Amino acid sequence: MPKLKTVKGVKERIKVTGTGKLLARRAGHRHLLGSRRAKTKRQLRRPQTLARADVRTIRSLVPYP
């Protein structure tokens, strides 16, 4: 069976935790932040654990985490 290719764009955006969960940066923290509350901006800093439905798709794109 041939090796599977990793999608490099996904590899750069996803981090695998020690327990195997996937972390990704939250959307909405690039521009137009002046209209957001400070609490919202602070919460957007932390990475987000991906949903179980998304994990199956990501695992196929990054076969060797």
pLDDT tens string 10-47: 999 999 999 999 999 999 999 999 999 999 999 999 99
- Give the closest residue to 40 by CA, choosing from 55, 28, 52: 28
Regarding pTM above 0.95, the answer is: no
- Give the closest residue to 65 by CA, choosing from 15, 24, 31: 15
The answer to whether 60 touches 38, Cβ cutoff 8 Å, is no
